[in-house]
């Protein structure tokens, strides 16, 4: 029988979906990455980092998020001909980096407390 997801797990899952959707919408130029959108993406990223990534997923999440940040940073010049792709990656970074920081801090705390 499938385990029923707790309310916090559902909030974390929805926060992730909403964060990605906002990043894609911003990338297509609907509203742009202004201070308000940046703040919303950072807060949603923090929520995802706190609620959505379990201790068993920490390594995979950090590897994926660091890969995304590195690849998107290094491909900025290559994507200059595709501003939509470039904008989506910038918005995704704004969303993913705070979550990665929280997950990394949780991992460091876990390692230090053992």
Structure tokens at 50: 């706190």
What is the mean predicted confidence (pLDDT) over 75-91? 84
Question: Pick from 66, 65, 77, 79: which is nearest to 19 by CA?
Answer: 65
pTM for this model (two decimals): 0.85
Q: What is the pLDDT of residues 28-50, one digit of tens each?
A: 887 678 899 999 999 999 999 99
Give pLDDT, residue 3: 58
* Confidence (pLDDT) at 79: 79
Where b means 16+ CB within 10 Å and e means fewer, 87-98 reads: bbbbbbbbbbbb
Give the model's confidence band at 1: pLDDT under 50 very low, under 70 low, under 90 confident, else very high. very low
Across 41-65, average pLDDT: 91
At 21 the pLDDT is 95
Average pLDDT along the chain: 87
pLDDT of residue 7: 81
Rounded CA-CA distance 113/87 in Å is: 39
pLDDT in tens, 8-26: 778 888 999 999 999 999 9
Domain boundaries, the chain: 16-113
């Amino acid at each position: 029988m499938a385990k029923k997801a707790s309310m916090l797990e559902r909030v974390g899952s929805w926060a992730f979906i909403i964060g990605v959707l906002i990043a894609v919408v911003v990338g297509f130029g609907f509203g742009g990455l202004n201070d308000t959108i940046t703040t919303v993406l950072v807060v949603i990223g923090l929520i995802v980092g706190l609620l959505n990534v379990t201790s068993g997923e920490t390594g995979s999440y950090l590897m994926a998020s660091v890969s995304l940040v590195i690849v998107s940073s290094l491909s900025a010049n290559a994507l200059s001909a595709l501003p939509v792709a470039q904008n989506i990656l910038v918005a995704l970074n704004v969303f993913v980096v705070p979550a990665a920081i929280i997950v990394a801090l949780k991992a460091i705390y876990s390692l230090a407390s053992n």
